[in-house]
Structure 1
Amino acid sequence: MNNFKFTINIVAAPLVIALCAFIAVSLVKSKKGPPIIPKKEVVISVAVNLAQPETVTPIIQSFGNTQSYFNTSISSQINGEIIEISPAFEVGASVDKGQWLAKINRADFEANLASRQAAYATARTAYAEEQTRSLLAEEDWLAAGRELSEASDLTLRKPQLEAAKAAVESAQAAVAQAELDLERTSIRAPFDAIVNQRSASPGNVVSRGADLGSLIARDRIQVRLPLTPSQASRLTLPSFDSEASNLHATLTTPTLPGIEWDALITRVEPLIDPKNQSVYLVGEIKNPFENPDAFLPVGAFVNAAIRANPMEDVFKFPESAVVEDAFVWIVSPDNTLAKQPITIAFSQDGQIYARILEPLYNLPLKVLSLPLASLKSGQKVIAVLPDATSN
């Protein structure tokens, strides 16, 4: 009996297990899961600007320090004592060409001139007497019935006459030199200038070549402006053999904000800096000291803006729109994103100017102004123009 029960248990156990498994599977299959909701595509809105080719005039930026056009040391050309200094011979004062700056005692030079004039008068008298003697010698020779061609130069007193003439010329030159020395007792400005430095004082005994001060030209100053080869290529530079130039630079300085000066680019320096390959332009500023409210001193640091040659068929993008200096994101007519390759020409005031060889779509292009890093080509977007954003 016990064996029979044991046999039944062995046979029934798998059946019970199989039945339970069948019931469990049936229950799982019959149970309804949560409804499947289709995933909705997210379409973001992007701010775009319309871009199309235009003609622009780049502004080349440079800098430099102003320099004097003429910077002359004033020195004495004679020896003597300074007896007077002009009130205008002060640092910062303006002087005109020919205006006297300092005077040296004239007494010795007046005496020397008088002595030279006396020597000149004596030489002229001696020359006149020698001319008379030479003429008498010729007459005496002819009165003796002889030909002048047979007379020697010494007989006709020609060497004595030439010596007397040379003495007159030497005395005349000595008078001219004495007059020049007397004139040099008044030291004068060689050109319209501003006094830069003065070391002379009344009572100083100076020698020839002694430094008395320095002047800088008043009518103009100059500035050297370095340019890179790329910047220089966008300008029409004045040629070395031409005096005419239409290239100008607008100068500003931090020391006088809000004031501008015009500099005419007159020439290009013939040498290129071997360290950085910079090209140097030289600009001239006319009458920089004339206006007391716009006084541009020598040595001032200035920023320069130069209008370059116009560039055609250039697209303008904000700096934030350009990715890796290689492309911009644009929106296609079917509102999907695409990468538009560009070639940067220059940048200025937060804008990048570039050329597009082959636009992907018809112009104007819808360019993303602030693209995200997660954007992908072909992604659906909603383009929003600035006017729409403001509304």
Structure 2
Amino acid sequence: MKLKVMPNLIVLISITCLAGAIAITFGNPTSGPGDKPGAPPLEQTETAQPAAGAATQAGPGAPQQQTAASAMNVSVVAVSAENYQAEVKGYGEAVAHYAISYTAEVSGRVASLADNFEVGQRVNQGDVLITLENTAYRQAVAEAESNLAQAELDLLEEQRTGEQARLEWQRSGLEGEPNSSLVLREPQLAAAEAVVENARYSLEKAEQDLAKTVITAPFDALIVERNVQPGSYVQSGTNVAELYSTDRVEIEIPLSVSQWQNLPKLSNADLAQQKNQWPVTLTDTEGKNSWQGYVIRVEQHVDTTSRQRSIVVAVENPFDQEVGLFPGTFVQAAISGRTLNDTWALPASAISQSGDIWYVDDHNQLKKVAANKLFEKAGTVYVAPIEGLSSAQVVKRPLTNYVVGMQVSAKVEG
């Protein structure tokens, strides 16, 4: 029996020792002021009192110091309302002033082609392009001349016969005019005169047909396509070539309603009186080449598909430029607009992804308002000022985590 009791006693003693060690380590939280185990907590309480007193002395200033220390630094630009000339940008394709499918007006076999009648060549107005065989047409002219001569002879004979008929009527002693105009051969004379007139027109047509066997350029043109070869036969109406005029190219630029509001109010009558009064700068898609043009007219209708109205820009002598502006070139147009008063100029980065302007108010707090963009130019966005403000500190690069009312520290950048 004594051997069985010993292990139990050892376990009880071990538990008692462990409990005492815990008490010594952490102290007795329930000890009174006079107990020795409670002495360390008394010392800790005395040490903490000065810290509490310091916090009390700091008073209301402590939260403000903490807010200032945690305020986010933001870069801002100081802007004020000024006057700027608007610039409107649009896009369009250069097209020739005239572009025609040139057709033959008479039939015939191609006798010869001009040496410069090749795709890519430029020709002047009146230059011969194609010559057709014309024997049949020369014969038609000769026949028309013969018919006209015979008609004129017949007319002379009829005029003489009519004079004789009138003299005979006068010698007859009858008074007044004859009952029928046939007596004086008036209808026969009118018919002879009509035959002469018809013969003249026939000769004129025959001569025109003969002239049309020589096909010439209708204007100064670029040969875009040639559809005939030497020896080929063409019918009247056959397309023999595609021609582009070289005097100028035109670019139709569709613009929105807001873009039109930034342009001067000029009518087509005003534009017709003086060229180049409304300048436009054109650049290619790569931005390497540029051309100077002018607004030649404004369209007076809205496109039913795009719901936009277009402005037409012209460039004179496009093929003679240092770098030619060829039909089919896609260009960007920078159109000089009217002067906009009381406008802010902001870096493009100042407009957030959602289209807002963030600015710092007089209390160093963030505010935002939707941007009313008027136009853009060279990385600068021109906007209408915020209502009630003529100047402001606008955040240069707003972040997505900004919150209205956030306390910030503004740093002005140039």
TM over 0.5: yes
Give the match's secondary structure for 1:33.
helix
Cα deviation, residue 104, structure 1: 1.1
Instruction: Write the distance in 2 (CA, Å) between the matches of 1:19 and 1:230.
Output: 81
Does 1:22 find its partner at 2:52? no
Q: Distance in 2 between matches of 1:18 and 1:303?
A: 84
In structure 1, C-alpha distance between the alignment counterparts of 2:30 and 2:228, rounded to whole Å: 128
| Contact 1:76–1:209 (Cα < 8 Å) also in 2 | yes
The match for 2:288 is 257
Match for residue 272 of structure 1?
A: 303
Q: Distance in 2 between matches of 1:18 and 1:129?
A: 155
Q: Which amino acid aligns with 2:289?
A: G
Give the letter aligned to residue 283 of structure 1.
V
Deviation at 1:66, TM superposition (A): 1.6
Q: 1:124 to 1:288 in 2, by over 3 A?
A: same
8 Å Cα contact 1:229-1:277 kept in structure 2: no
Structure 1 segment 1-391 matched on structure 2, within 5 A: 20-23=31-34, 27-31=40-44, 32-33=46-47, 36=51, 40-41=65-66, 42=69, 45-147=73-175, 149-150=177-178, 152-236=180-264, 238-239=266-267, 244=272, 246-254=277-285, 257-268=288-299, 270-274=301-305, 276-291=306-321, 293-322=322-351, 324-330=354-360, 332=362, 336-339=364-367, 341=369, 343-346=371-374, 348=376, 349-352=378-381, 353-359=383-389, 364-371=391-398, 373=401, 377=405, 379=407, 381=409, 383-386=410-413
**Percentage of pairs with the same residue:** 25
- In structure 2, the CA distance between the partners of 1:88 and 1:238, relative to structure 1 (3 Å rule), is farther
Is the alpha carbon distance of 1:20 and 1:342 closer, same or farther for their aligned partners in structure 2, counting shifts above 3 Å?
A: closer
Listed one character per residue, the Cα deviations across residues 170-222 of structure 1 (whole Å, up to 9, x for unaligned) are 11111111111111111111112111111122211222111111211110122
1:269–1:282 CA contact under 8 A, matched in 2:
no
State the Cα distance separating 1:273 from its structure 2 match.
2.9
Choose 134-143 or 341-350, whichever is displaced more: 341-350
Give the direction of change, closer, same or farther, for the CA distance of 1:378–1:79 in structure 2 (3 Å limit): closer
Find the aligned partners of 1:119 and 1:153 in 2 and give their Cα distance: 27
Please give the alpha-carbon distance, in whole angstroms, between the structure 2 residues aligned to 1:287 and 1:341.
Answer: 48
The 3 A distance-change label for structure 1 pair 58 and 18 is closer
- 2:336 maps to amino acid: R
Q: Give 1:309 shift.
A: 2.2
For structure 1, list consecutive stretches of 5 or more residues without a partner in the other structure. 1-16
| Partner of residue 8, structure 1 | none
8 Å CA contact 1:263, 1:285 repeated in 2: yes
CA displacement at 1:347 relative to structure 2:
5.0
Which residue identity lines up with residue 343 of structure 2 in the other structure? V
Q: Which moved more, 1:232-241 or 1:211-220?
A: 232-241
Count residues with an aligned counterpart. Answer: 363
Q: What is residue 7 of structure 2 aligned with on the other side?
A: none
> Structure 1 residue 46: deviation in Å?
4.2
CA distance in 2, matches of 1:61, 1:186: 47
Compute the displacement of 1:233 (Å): 2.7
Deviates more, 1:226-235 or 1:253-262: 253-262
| Counterpart AA for 1:277 | R
Moved over 6 A (4+): none
Find the residue that maps to 2:314 and give its secondary structure.
strand
1:141–1:147 Cα contact (<8 Å) kept: no
Amino acid at match of 1:138: R
1:68, distance to aligned residue in structure 2 (A):
2.2
**One-letter identity of the residue aligned with 1:169:** E
Query: 2:24: which partner in 1?
Result: none
Alpha-carbon distance between aligned partners in 2 of 1:271 and 1:336, rounded to the nearest angstrom: 48
Does the 8 Å contact 1:65/1:223 carry over to 2? yes
Give me the CA root mean square deviation. Answer: 3.0
Instruction: Give the residue type in structure 2 aligned to 1:22.
Output: P
Contact residue 92 and residue 251 of structure 2 kept, 8 A? yes
Per-residue CA shift, 1:15-36, capped at 9, x if unaligned? xx99942235565234343663
